[in-house]
Every structure is written in structure tokens, then in C-alpha cells.
Structure 1
Amino acid sequence: MMEQYQHLKAKVGDALLFFRMGDFYELFQDDALVASKALNIALTARNKQQDDPIPMCGVPIHSAESYIDRLLQQDFKVAIAEQLEDPSQAEGLVKRDIVRVITPGTVISSTILAPKEHNFLASIAVTPGGAGFAYVDVSTGTFAVTSWESPDWQQALYREYTRVQPREVLFPEPLEISLDIMQSTSDTFSATLQPWAAHYFHLERAYRTLTQQFAVRSLEGFGCEGHPLGIAAAGALVAYVHETQHNTMTHLNGLRLYSTGDFMVLDETTRRHLELTYSPVSQGRAGSLLALIDCTLTAMGGRLLRQWLSQPLCQLQALQERQEAVAELVEQSSRRARLRQALDTLSDFERTLSRLALGTVTPRELIALCRSIGRLPAIEAELRACSSLVLTTLAAQWDSLRDLADLIANAIVDDPPATLRDGQVIRSGYHTELEALREQGASGTAWLNHFEVQERQRTGIPSLRIGFNKVFGYYLEVRKAHLSQVPAEYLRKQTLVHAERFITPALKDREVHMLRAAEEALSLERRLYEALQCQLAQHLHRIQQMAQILSQLDGLAALAEVAVARQYCRPTLDDSDILAITDGRHAVLETMCQEERFVPNDTFLDCERRQILLLTGPNMAGKSTYMRQVALIVILAQIGSFVPARSAHIGLVDRVFTRVGAQDMLGKGQSTFMVEMTETANILHNVSARSLVLLDEIGRGTSTYDGISIAWAVIEYLHTHGDLRPRTLFATHYHELTALAASLVRVHNYSAAVQERGDKVLFLRRILPGSADRSYGIQVARLAGLPVPVLQRAQQLLTHFESSSSPSGVASGKRRMAPQITPGFQPGSQLSLFEPLMTQLLHELRSLDLANLSPSEVVTTLTELQQKARRLP
């Protein structure tokens, strides 16, 4: 047996081998050492009496999936070696072979996977000038590919990689080009990097793999011709799936080629800042935009809605068609309610069909599918009454699947057991031979009941009963108080504390007949069930098509439900550069406001007159919330949703950029300021005329002069560089920047309104025209609970600074006096507040290149330096 194990282990390499032995999966040798530690289960040994016992551990088959899941979460792979014949009928060693290798990206078990999340396996093919990226969800049949051949392909690949969030990624080995994703880390997901032999990525082989998978002569029908890198990535992916699943995976019968240019670009930074699908507060989806809008009632609808949110549309016609469908469901409230009531009872068609393709679908899953198909007529009736283009198109593609439901209902009992090995799965009357075998079993049970009564009467033993276990089979049990009455022909088989167990020739003869009939019945049930699976598998494409229709319908109805429940409006969408929102609200935060009502705000941006809104005002006054809510409204509009506002007019946005928050990346050796500058550089290099840019507190992580200079230059660049003119919201505490509105015609000052009440401040949460005259930092510090002495000293220093000049170095016209030293302060214990200003002045003086300055430039420069010097104490 160990030779068989060693042979199978050699076939699976670094995967942990689950070796089927009866009702357990056993692991041996090094695999046992690793698995026992990873799973925290007992480690024992085989051949303990020998000098070199073999380490072993095991898990029960009925709970194996939970153990496999724990191993996958630790990035292990698991190979399953099943028994290919009944041990009772095997001649010699039971035949075994590898039936599947389960990797993080090839999981199909419903008990392991999150219902509303995809589990993607991805593949990357690269050359010096481009990349192909393909991904598949083996559990649903979703299969897509894209490619890039441009100088910025690394950035495009990284963005798509972080959007898809694969669980496992294949890359050619050896990898001749360094990829950013190999060093990437993320708070929201982690991927197992899996090297895969380079020859699988060769174009000719990959092309052949795909045409064989789809049973076609060319890939022209999928639009893939002319995309060699995409073909390479997709072909290598299919080869890996075949290799690990030991199956042709017939539900992978289509490949969607897409261009990332058809969708709004949302990079990892933007998704993180806007908390689209993940909230760092909850460490999950709770508190995210997805959690708010996901009113879907089916798992497949939930997965589709997540995809829509990760890929907002940039194609106006498709967007307007989806919006029209949502609008119809908003208006038809009764129809929407009936649709959702019917959808609420549906099982997960997509994941059922994947297990059907693999031959692992359970009887209960098939009955759930059958009952779900029974609900389709009610959905169809409502759908055919709709008039919008998207909904009428779905109705035209409708398939009742009634014939498949009849196949299942005729074959399987209404309430089947959890697994096929429990028997009694096939309905009575379905198969003549099975009925005969079951009658034999029933007659045997009747014989046992009669025999038990007969023996009680014959022996006079009232406690006599017939029992059964897997070791001894059927037996007669007699309590020890009646052992003296046991007939001589009874053969003792087992002694218990309070009873003895016996057998008789007649009982054993009947047992042989009954067990043979039961085994034959179970074997026939298995064959009939497998035949049913094969019949159903011929119609996988039909089930898949209906899954896509139902998921779209569920996603659209969910958006309509949210729109009604939250009182959203239907936005106007067009190709203009206008972004006009009346009484806009933050979709997520408005649902969390318990102590105060959420205050709505207006927004107007365009590229001609009001391109950049410069926001000033104190912390906690609502600037960041305002910026985020504008971005969320745009994103919601471009997935076809209604939006949280009284009205909205949105000219399509091709990309949303954000630089908000202060998440340090210290693990990468990057400070807050370095991250801020990196993200700002990314924005300035990639911004377009249709982009929406959100910049919050640029320059705050360095000295005041540096910060103001950088922020000032960024605003000028966004305003004047070429013909880009991206719509921009720029929040700052540098009040000096408000002067830009006087010289840059498309910059407008706005501020977060506050109301002073003595030494306290009330945040009104309103964003109004005009600049703020102060930051109210001390009032915010008071709300945060700083000690009173600190607040008093801060107020003293603030009064001094305001009476002379601002700490940013802008003179007020009065000579600055050194601030009074606080009692107990030791002079020289730290650097003066103004020493950095002197250092900077000296640096500027040393850096002057007088030989290359004109006389007028020399005069101007020296005048500026003199003014700075006079402001020093």
C-alpha cells in the first residue's frame, strides 16, 4: 500500500496528498508532519512496532472540506487520491488515483467559498512590450481576458490585478521580466503566486488548448485573434485547470475579451480611499459602498453587482440602457416586489453547474436546482411585462429549463440524503432493477422482525433483540440475566458489560442476502445518478445562460430597491464636461448618522469656467466627506444606479483619482509624505480631460514652505498644463493658496462653514463659496480632549503668531516678537520654532547661480530674500 502511496505522491509534487482509506483521508510521512501542525490534529504512526515507524494523520471524509479550507488559507495545495473500486470487491490492493488537485484558485466547494464573491485563478503572459491577463472562476465558469501593448503596460496590469483580486496567479517560469505584482501587498486580498512551465504560455500551444476547450477551429468568434498575449495567458490558464482538475471542465465554454478602456479606471489607491468594497474599520465589506447597495437576493446576483462596482461603464449607450432598466423597476414597485420575492428562493445556478461539470454535485443541490427552476415561470411573467431594452432582451433569451427540472424530479426523491453513499436517493419506480433490489431489502427487514419475535417466544427471553454493526453484521443480543436460557445452537460472537451477542446460521444466511442486495442497490443508485449527471451536463450552456439572465435581473432590481429605499434620484448622463449635483449626500455616511442629520451639499464643475474647487476650512467640518461623496455619486451613476442627491448631471468620467487619507506604508519603507507624493505623481502623469481628481491636504507631510510650494505648483499644473483641465476638488489648510483664484480663472474658492459661539465652534457641514479665514485647530483639539494647559499655551502662541505673521511665513506687516517662554521651560532644550526658517534662507542663498541670472532677476531674487530675512525674529 505504501508503494501505491509513494507512486501517487510523486505525481502531485508539493501538494499534500489526501489518501482515501475507508471513511478517512490519511496523510503519511512529511505530509503528515506538515498537515498535523497546520491543522492542529493528532500525529500518530503506521508500523509503530518497527524501528522506523511512518508518521501519519488523518481526517474524516464527512468533514474533510473544512480541513482542506484551512490548508488552502495557509497557501497549501491538496491532492485527493480516491478509491476507484469497492474495497469489498477488490482483488488485492484497492485501486486508487488522483482525481483532483485543489489549489487556492480552483476551489469549487460551496462550504469553503463566500457566496457573493468570486474565487479567481489568474494568469499573466508578458513580453518587454506588453502583457496578457486572463482570469477564471472555476466555481462559476466566468472566464475573461485582456491585454496591453503599450509603454505603461505594467501599470495597467497592476491595476487590473488589484481590481480582480485573484486568489492564485500563474506566471511563466522562468520569468524573464520583473513584475510589480510579484512584490505587491494589499490589505484587502492576498494571492498565491504559482510558477507554471513557460511552454504552456507559447502562443501555438495556448491557441490549440483554447480551440480544443471550446471545440472550435479558430478563436475569431471570441474576438481573440490579434491578441497573442491574451491568448497565451488564457491558454496557460486552461492547461493548469485541466492539470489540476483531471477534467475537461465543460462549463468553461466561453471566453470574454474586454478592453479596460471601456470601463472607468479605479486603481487600488482610489478603491481603498473610497472604501468601495472593503472598509479598514470593519476589516471587511461592512461599512463599504458595496455593503450599502448590495440588496441582491441571489449569490450570483451579488457577484455580478460586485463586478459592476469594480468596473463602472464608460460607454454612454450601454450605461443609459442599464439605467433605463433600473428606472423601470423603480417605477414599477409592485412588479419589482414580485420579482424579488421569486428571486429570493433561487439557488446558486452557477456554482451548481460547475459541480455538475466536475461530477461532484450532491443530490440536495440538484433538488434545490429543480425547485429553483420551478420558480422561473413567476419571474418570466413579470419580466415579459417590462418594456426597457435590457429587460426585453433578457426576456427574449429566456429558457424555462422545464425539461431539466422534470429529469431531476423524476429521478431523485423530494428530500434526499446529504450524500449519495447514504443511499435512498433515487425515487421509487424510477428503475425496475433497483425496485427489485429494494424489495429484497424490505423483505429481509420483515424477515428480521419476524425472526426476532419468533426467537423471543421460542427461548422465553424477553430482552432478546436483533442489532447490527459494521464489524459483526447482524446479531442477537441477550442480557446477562437471561444467559441461562440461551439455546445451545447460538454461537457467541461478542461479550459486553451487561450483555452477550450471538449469531445463528439462519441469521448469517439472511444477512448475506440482505447485504448483497443493499450493496447492489447502492451501486446501481450510483450508476443511475451518474447517468443523470451526464444527461444534465449536456445542457450546461442552457443553465449558464439562465444564470447570467437571473444575475442581471437580480442586480438591476437591487439597484432599484436601494434607489427607492434611500430616495435616490436618476442622474442625467452625457458626454459633456459638466458635473452638477444638487443636494448631494455621502451614500454610506448618511445611513450611519444617528445623532445628527446628514447635511447635503451642491457641486458644480466643468472644464471651462469652474474646473478646480479649492476647499478650505477646519478639520471635522466635512471637506473630506464632501470630496468622497462627489466621487461616490459619479461611480454610482456610471454603474447605472440612481444617486443620493436631489438632482445630478454627470458628464462621463474616465477615471477617478484620489489622494486622501494618511495611510502610511511603513512596511514598504515609505512615510506618509512619500506615499502622498507617489500618489500625486501618479495622478499628474495619468490624468486626462475626463478625469475626476480629489486631492486632500497635499504637502502637509513636510515643512510649511515646501508644502505650500508643492500644493501651489500642483494646482497650477492641473489648471494650465496642456488642454487637460480635469475636474478637481482640492482641499487644503494652506490659506495662502486661496490667492490663486485671483490669477487662475478656473479656480474657485469654497469653504466649510462654521459658526462660532464664544470659544466653541459649531460645524455646519455646508460647503459654500468663499475661503475660510481661519482653521479652528485649537477648537478641534479641545473636542479631541487635549489637556487644558496645552490648549491654553496653544492659544497664547496662536495669538502671538496672528499679531505678527503666520507660521507659513507671510508677513502681517508687524515686527514679530519672540513668544513668551512658558514657566518651567528650559531654553536650549529644543530647537527654536524659527531656526528651520533661517536654515532654509541660508540654503536658498547658497543655491543662487548668480552667473546665470540677469541683472533684473538678481534684484528681484535679493529683494525676496531680504523680505524673508526681515520676518525672522
Structure 2
Amino acid sequence: MDATVGTASDEEAGLPYLSESILAIDVKDRSTLGCSVFCTTDGVLKIGADISMAGEDVVEQFLSYAQPTTILVSRRVPESTFAFIEKHAGRIIKEVTLRLVSPSDFSHTFACEELSSLDTHGICSFRTTSSANVDGQCVKSSIQALQEHDRQEPQCMKLVRCSSLIDLDNISSLSCAGAVLIYLHRRRSLVSPSSNSSMGYMFNVRSVTLFTLSDYVFISEESRLSLQIINHESHPNSQTWSVDSKSSVEKENISIYGLFHPLASTPQGRSHLRYMFLRPISNLDILSERHQTISLLLQPSNEEKKKRAVAILRKMGNIIDRIVPVSLTLVGDMINRAINFNETKSQQYCSVMPGVDTELDALKRQYDGMSSFLTAVVNRVAEDLPVWARQYIQSCVFLPQLGFLTVVEQESQLGNDIFNGGSVNDNSWKKSFTHNGTAYYKNRHMEDLDRYYGDMYSKISDKEVEVMQKLASNVIVHEKALLEAADLCGEFDALLALAIGAAKYDWHAPQMTAANVIHIKGGRHPLQELLVPSFVPNDCFIGDEGMAPGRGTQALVLTGPNQSGKSVYIKQVAVIVYLAHIGSFVPAEAALIGTVDKILTRMPSRESVSRIGSTFALDLKQVFQAMKYSTSRSLVLMDEFGNGTAADGGAGMFTAMLDYFLSPATAIPKLLVATHFHEVFSHGYLNQHKQLSLMHMEVRSDINAADAEDKVTYLFKLSKGCGLMSLGSQCAVLNGIPEDIINRAQVIGEIIIKYIPFIIQKA
């Protein structure tokens, strides 16, 4: 069964190289989830760790991590899990091929045998022999392996070596690796031997590694869109639209990633930059390395080097220890000596440099000297013609595939040939074609030249193709170094883009720590500050009491009037934390960021007729997921939860949600909440929670101001305490609602407040 689904964008689909990501998912014992991923761009097979009691959040994280173009799902996967994959896969990448695969393909035994037999850098980087008395056949085989280097390593020793590199007890994930290997074998078998051999090579496993989701920060696609990390839209140029979604071009909408995407110089750099934005990590060593690299690039002494690096990224491999410099130098010299890049650019085909092939050089000299040679040929042809006809012979030319031809003038009015060779003794004059008032003839002299010289242009083209094929054969020997260079240059280009962006937007390096804390000084929202004349920065402190006595808090509840900046504040904190976890600098004066494992949000839901459930139901689903999956190291954002239902019911749900998160029996996450339910805090019910801190966004009101717009001044400054004003009427004025409607609304509101106890009593 194949199903193609897809709604999300893959803007890198226009890359000049083919990229496929194959993901296999299997569930054993009804609860243990396994996963393996293969990517054609680097040839790496990544085997995950088995996860017990895995839920849909883990499946979504696997999908987000792999960014798959093909998903292999075992038929033993529960129907609900398959339905979830089918529903959510298209949100990750535009086109996804979903295949239901027989459980026999998910074979642990087959996977172990195949992995132990792979001759890759990740598996067969060394060979083993044994002196232990395992069995006679094994010892005999080992001795033969020592004596004869061309013999294969014994299978039992391959398994021993493989088990030292891969946990063979990861049954589910190894079974997924077996399914991926079978699929790759089928893809290779479909490549015709006469076609481009690189297509088959794409589906060879060149390295095997392990991955664990513990190093990755989980964030759902919905949360990523709510925070505007990555956001796509259809390209405004209608000429790029297509019925086929694969052919349609999309552009990045206003987003954090969109700030940096134009700053990357290469396709590999943009691809790696997007990879970093999609996969935030919690590995402190990798994050520290990225931050240090950006700091190095931003040093004043490296400013000129940074500018030059944008244009010479292809040379960056020379300073990387993992790449053999001699290999890249040989390849570069080989290509520069063989290809004439100036002629190649002007003529739109590959031109070979002089001195590479003597036969090709001789053919080119003959072809380049054709002009003077053909002048002599014209005189020779004219000697055989009557004197009166010689004036009508314009020239002799050489045309590829047609050979040598004599050009004869035609009558200007009737277009008849003035001379057609009829008065010549031989009958060899034959007209080939006419063009622009001239006729092109074959004759005895032209046929002699054809026999002697042949089609020189075709000979030159064929010879250049032959030289290019030899060059390609020599270059392919260094493929590994070239691929590593391309990957490393892409990684460097992405970090260079982050460095350029940090300097452009005045971002600073965060300090990452394993402590459970978020301390931000002078934080800003990276998108909002570009849209307003002046942005007011704010601090944030969430962490254990031990980190800062007297300031410790795990939950921050934010109140204040409409349009005072509550949503912007909680989003900016989440964005700063997210950016720190991709290795970027952050929009803040300083930041101490403890690693998080998840970023969970309850933001206003995207409206769509295709989504089942009301807006409030979707909000409840997000809150439930946050309650179920959050840990003490998670960051949870709640923006106006409870507004989708009746005020009393919404306030009750909101209070119960806070009570649950802050209860001693729960691992309290780092909680950021924005709300208008001021009545929740009026009677002090939540004061029992010492980890709760009440804050508000400051406003200044002047009821005596003549102009309605001047009655309220938003300061956008975070302050302690609970703000009990909503100022909905003033917000309506600022957004253009007519004054008579606002006055009427205030009267109705006063009537409702006055008579609601009477209405309740009568009911």
C-alpha cells in the first residue's frame, strides 16, 4: 500500500542534488517503538534506541527528526499509530510516500547479518581475529583470514565486532534497519546498468551511526508555527504555481528562519541551516562548539576573513583535519587543469584546456584555422569554374554534421540560383539547402574535404566527452573527501549565516548550563522588534530557589490589559530558549539557559475546515499533551487558555490546569502563562503554590485625557504583581471601533454586572 500525503513545505526541494530520507518505524510487543533513518545525501544509516511505552509524541518527534520522503511502516504497527503517521507525515515535508511493509522485512536476524557484513566506515573500520576456542570452524577461518588477506572475515567475528558498535538488543530499531536495507536493495536493483551509476550509489550505506532523541528538544509542528520558527507560504509569483505540488515553488513567510535563510551562500548551507532550525538539541558540547564558532567569526580581527569566506567556501576543506588536504588539492588541480571555465561559461558546454589531450589539441587547431584554410579552398573551387561564374561564389563554409559546403549567390527577386554547377565538366554539384538568399552546394572539392577531415566539430565534441569521462573517473576516487568537504562547508556556511545575523540584529551569546534555569536579561522578540520603531526589552527568571535565593520560581503567570504585550513576552522567552538550543546567539543582553527536553505550547489554534473539533477542543488537546508529556526540564507556554468557552468554565479549567502543574506530585515544568482571568487571583486560592510568581505588563491611564487614544499608555514593561485591568474599551478605540459602539458596550456591561445576581436568583 502506497499513500502520498503532504501539506508542509520543503523549500530546499530546488537543491541541485537529489535528497531522499527513508524512515522505518516498527512496534514490537504493542509498546516498544523502534526507528531507523537513511539519508541519500550522506549515505548514513542512523539506528535509534528502542523506546518503551512510546506515545504519539515520540512518533511525531521521529518524523520531525528524520524529515522523511519515504516512510516504511510495519503492518504490525497499531492502527491508531498508522493513522497518526498518515495524518501528520504531510505536515513535516511536502511529499511523503507511505508504505505498509510486511513484518517479514522487519527482521532482527537479517538486520544483524547485513549490518555485520557492511563494508562501511561506521562498521568495518577494522577487522578482528580470535584466539578463543569458540569452535573449530571459527578458529580455522580466523587463521585463514590472517594468512590470506583477500578472504572475508568470519561471520561470527563480524557479529562480535558489530555488537561492540551497535546495541544488538535494540530489537525494534534494528528490525527497522533491516527493512531500510531491503528497501535500499530494491531501489538499487531498479537502476539500469546503462544509466548514471551515481544513482545506484546513492542507495549504498556508507556509514552506520546511532542516534537517540534524548539529545534533541521536542517541539511539535503546531508549536513551531505558533512561535514562527519556520513558516511557509505559496510563492507570490503565479508563474511558479503548478498542479503538481512537487513542481510548485514556495517561499519562507515572516519567521525566525526567514531572517537567516538569505544570509547563507550555498545550497548546502541553506539546507544545513534549515536542518539546525528544525532539530534543536540539548547536547551541551555541540551547542558550546557552535557558540564558540560564531564568537570566533564575530571577532573584529576576523571581519575581513568572514567577508572573504562567503565567496570562497569551497576552499574551507583545507583547514579541516578530517579531510586529507592532499586529496582535495589533487582534485582541485585536476579540474582546473582540465576544464576551461571561461569558455565553458560563454559557450554553455564543457570546454577542455589545451595540453590535456594532444589529439584534441590538433583537432581544435585545425578547426580554429578553418577561416584562412577555407579562403584557399574558395580559390581552388573557382579555378574549375567559368570566368563569368566565379563572381557568384561567395565562400566555402564548414557546418557541423553537414561538412564542407560551397555558398552560391541567388537572384534577389526570384530566388533562383545564378549558378548551379551546370557548366562544369563533372556532375558533382548538388544543392543541399538555401538560406537568406544563398544556396549551399556539395561538389567534388567539398566531398574530398569531407573524406579527409571528416566532421571535425563532432570529433572535437566526442573527444571532449571522452576527456570529461576520464576526469570524472579520476575525481570519483576522491568522492569521500569531496562529500565530507561539501558537508563541512555546508555546516560552516550555516554557522557563518548565524554569525552574520547575530551581528546584523545585535544578538549575544547565551551561556548554556545543565541547571534547570532560564535567566534572560534584556530579552527581545526578534520579529516584533523589526516591526516597531522602539522595542522595550524585558528580563525573565525561571529556576530553582538554589539558583537565586528569593527569586526562585518555576511558574510565571502574566496578567495585564489587552494589547499590553503579554503574548509577545512569553513567545520571546520561548524563541530565545529555542535559538539557544540550535547553537545560535539570542536577542538579549545576556542569557543563562538551562537545557530543556521539550517546548510545549497552548497557543491560539490555526483555523481550518479540515481539522476535526472546535477551537476549544483543539486547545484542550494541546493542554492535555503538555500535562501528559512535560517534565521538570520542559518549557510550557499557555496563552489565554480557557477563553474558548464560558467565562466561569474557562476560569475553572485555567485554575485546575495551574493547580495540576504546581502540585507536589507533579514534576513542575518551567511554566509561562498569560491570562485575563483576574478573578482567579482575587481570593488567594493559588497563593499556596510557592513556585508561582504573578507578573503584569505595565500601563499608565489618564481618565482626564481629552483624546480617547491618550487615556491609556502601554509601557510594555514587566513588573511584579497582578494587573487587574483589561481595558477592553480602550483597546477597541485604538483599533478603530466607533466611539458610539464603545459607549453602548460600556452601558450594557454595567447593566449585566448590576442585574446578574437577580437573574441567577430568578433562575
TM range (shorter): 0.7 to 0.9
1:176-255 paired onto structure 2 within 5 Å: 177=79, 178-179=81-82, 180-184=84-88, 189-195=93-99, 198=102, 200-206=105-111, 211-212=117-118, 214=120, 216=124, 219=162, 223=166, 225-227=168-170, 228-246=174-192, 247-249=200-202, 253-255=206-208
Q: Label 1:429 to 1:313 Cα distance change in 2 as closer, same or farther (>3 A).
A: same
Is residue 653 from structure 1 mapped to residue 596 from structure 2 by the alignment?
Answer: yes
2:111–2:175 Cα contact (<8 Å) kept: no
**How far is the alpha carbon of 1:197 from its aligned partner?**
5.7
Counterpart residue identity of residue 330, structure 2: D
Q: Give 1:273 shift.
A: 1.2
Structure 1 window deviating more from structure 2 (468-477 vs 766-775): it is 468-477
Distance 1:174 1:500, change over 3 A: farther
Residue 479 of structure 1 and its aligned partner are, at CA, apart by 2.8
Shift of 1:565: 2.9
Corresponding position of 1:342: 309
> Retained in 2: the 8 A contact 1:120–1:137?
yes
> Residue 424 and residue 491 in structure 1: after superposition, are their counterparts in 2 closer, same or farther (change >3 A)?
same
Question: Does the Cα contact within 8 Å between 1:134 and 1:237 map onto a contact in 2?
Answer: no
Once residues 605 and 735 of structure 1 are traced to their aligned partners in structure 2, the CA distance between those partners, rounded to angstroms, is 22
Residue 428 (structure 1) aligns with: 354
1:624 to 567, 573, 584: 567
CA contact (8 A) 2:297 2:306 kept: no
Give the distance between the partners of 1:511 and 1:615, measured in 2 at CA: 89
Indicate the residue corresponding to 2:374 in structure 1.
Answer: 448
1:597 to 521, 534, 545: 534
TM-score (norm 1): 0.69
Change (3 A) 1:149 1:571: closer
* Residue of structure 2 equivalent to 1:328: 296
Judged with a 3 Å threshold, the aligned counterparts in structure 2 of structure 1 residues 616 and 186 are, in CA distance, closer, same or farther, namely farther
Aligned equivalents of 1:536, 1:203: Cα separation in 2: 38
Deviations for 1:558-580, whole angstroms, at most 9, x for unmatched residues? 33333333222332322222212
Please, which of 719, 727, 733 is the counterpart of residue 768 of structure 1?
719
Tell me the alpha carbon deviations over residues 33-54 of structure 1, each in whole angstroms, 9 at most, x when there is no partner. Answer: xxxxxxxxxxxxxxxxxxxxxx
| Per-residue deviation, 1:801 | 4.0
Greater relative contact order (CA < 8 Å, ≥ 6 in sequence):
2
Return 5+ residue gaps in structure 2 as ranges: 125-157, 193-199, 236-249, 546-551
Structure 1 partner of 2:584: 641
- State the number of aligned residues: 665
Aligned to 2:252: 285
Amino acid at match of 2:309: A
Aligned-residue offset at 1:736:
1.6
Please point out which of 561, 565, 571 is paired with 2:510: 571
Q: Alpha-carbon deviation of 1:671?
A: 1.8
User: Whole-Å Cα distance in 2 between the matches of residues 684 and 74 of structure 1?
Assistant: 29
Which residue in the other structure is 2:131 paired with? none
Using the alignment, how far apart are the partners of 1:743 and 1:314 within structure 2?
Answer: 33
Query: Alignment partner for residue 341 of structure 2, among 414, 426, 429?
Result: 414
Q: 1:518: Cα distance to partner?
A: 4.3
The answer for the alignment partner of 1:17 in structure 2 is: none
Q: Give CA-to-partner distance per residue, 1:60-89, whole Å, 9 cap, x none.
A: xxxxxxxxxxxx9999xxxxxxxxxxxxxx
**Which letter maps to 1:184?**
H
Cα distance change, pair 472–557 in 1 and its aligned pair in 2 (3 A):
closer
Secondary structure of the residue aligned to 2:658 is helix
What's 1:37 paired with?
none
Shift of the 577–73 alpha-carbon distance from structure 1 to 2, 3 Å rule, reads: closer
> What letter corresponds to residue 301 of structure 2 in structure 1?
S
Query: What SS is found at the alignment partner of 1:508?
Result: helix
Larger displacement relative to structure 2 (204-213 or 657-666): 204-213
In structure 1, distance between residues paired with 2:54 and 2:557: 31
Deviations 1:342-384 (A, max 9, x none): 24333xxxxxxxxxxxxxxxxxxxxxxxxx44x766xx4xxxx
1:479 and 2:406 correspond: no
- Identify the residue that residue 678 of structure 1 maps to in structure 2: 621
**Does residue 689 of structure 2 align to residue 744 of structure 1?**
yes
**1:315: which partner in 2?**
283
Change (3 A) 1:396 1:552: same
Supply the distance in 2 between the matched residues of 1:802 and 1:735 (Cα, whole angstroms).
16
SS of 2:391's equivalent in the other structure is: coil
Q: Secondary structure at the match of 1:779?
A: helix
Instruction: Say if 1:665 and 1:671, in contact at 8 Å, map to a contact too.
Output: no
CA distance 1:424–1:797, shift in 2 (3 Å): closer
Task: Give the partner amino acid of 1:158.
Answer: E
**2:6 touches 2:91 (CA, 8 Å); kept in 1?**
no
Q: Deviations over 1:515-565 (max 9, x none)?
A: 455444433332332222121111111122223333333333333333333
Query: Deviation digits for residues 474-529 of structure 1, max 9, x if unmatched?
Result: 43332322834443242233356844332102212322444455444433332332
RMSD: 3.7
2:378 match: secondary structure? helix
Q: Contact between 2:699 and 2:715, CA under 8 Å: does it hold in 1?
A: yes
Question: Per-residue deviation at 1:130?
Answer: 3.6
- In the alignment, the residues of structure 1 paired with residue 511 and residue 349 of structure 2 have an alpha-carbon distance, to the nearest angstrom, of 59
- After the TM superposition, which residues 386-785 of structure 1 pair with which residues of structure 2 at under 5 Å, given as runs? 394=320, 399=325, 401-417=328-344, 425-439=351-365, 441=367, 447-455=373-381, 459-462=389-392, 464-467=394-397, 472-481=402-411, 483-488=417-422, 489=427, 490-494=429-433, 498-593=437-532, 596-608=533-545, 609-738=552-681, 739-758=684-703, 759=708, 760-785=711-736
**Identity across aligned pairs (percent)?**
22
Does the 8 A contact of 1:263 with 1:654 survive in 2? yes
What is the Cα deviation at residue 469 of structure 1?
5.6
State whether structure 2 residue 52 is matched by structure 1 residue 155: no
CA distance in 2, matches of 1:252, 1:452: 63
CA-to-aligned-CA distance 1:185-243 (integer Å, 9 cap, x gap):
65664223243764654445555665446384565576464441342254245335424
Query: Contact conserved, 1:205 with 1:235, CA < 8 A, in 2?
Result: no
Contact 1:298–1:344 under 8 Å retained in 2: no
CA distance in 2, matches of 1:497, 1:253: 59
Compared CA separation, residues 654 and 188, structure 1 to 2 (3 A)? closer
Q: Deviations over 1:809-864 (max 9, x none)?
A: xxxxxx55xxxxxxxxxxxxxxxxx6xxxxxxxxxxxxxxxxxxxxxxxxxxxxxx
| Aligned-residue offset at 1:700 | 1.2
The 1:289/1:470 distance shift into structure 2, 3 A limit, reads same
Cα 1:597–1:528, aligned 2, differ >3 Å: closer, same or farther?
same
Q: How many Å separate the matches in 2 of 1:631 and 1:398? A: 42
> What is the DSSP-based 3-state SS (H/G/I as helix, E as strand, rest coil) of the residue aligned with 2:730?
helix
* 1:605 counterpart letter in structure 2: I
The counterpart of 2:210, out of the listed 237, 245, 257, is 257
What is the alpha-carbon distance in structure 1 between the residues aligned to residue 350 and residue 97 of structure 2?
A: 44
| Matched-pair contact (CA < 8 Å) for 2:502–2:508 | yes
Cα deviation for residue 751 of structure 1 reads: 1.4
Quick one: distance in 2 between partners of 1:172 and 1:687? 29
Query: 1: CA distance between counterparts of 2:31 and 2:396?
Result: 78
Partner of residue 94, structure 1: none
SS at match of 1:668: coil
Q: Give 3-state SS (helix, strand or coil) of 1:183's partner.
A: helix
Structure 1's 470 and 73: CA in aligned 2 closer, same or farther, altered over 3 A? farther
Structure 2 residue 754 is the aligned partner of structure 1 residue 800:
no
Provide the residue aligned with 2:226 in structure 1: 273
SS of the aligned residue for 1:255 comes to strand
Deviation per CA, 1:660-711, whole angstroms, max 9, x where unpaired?
1231343032221111011111110000011111001111111222211111
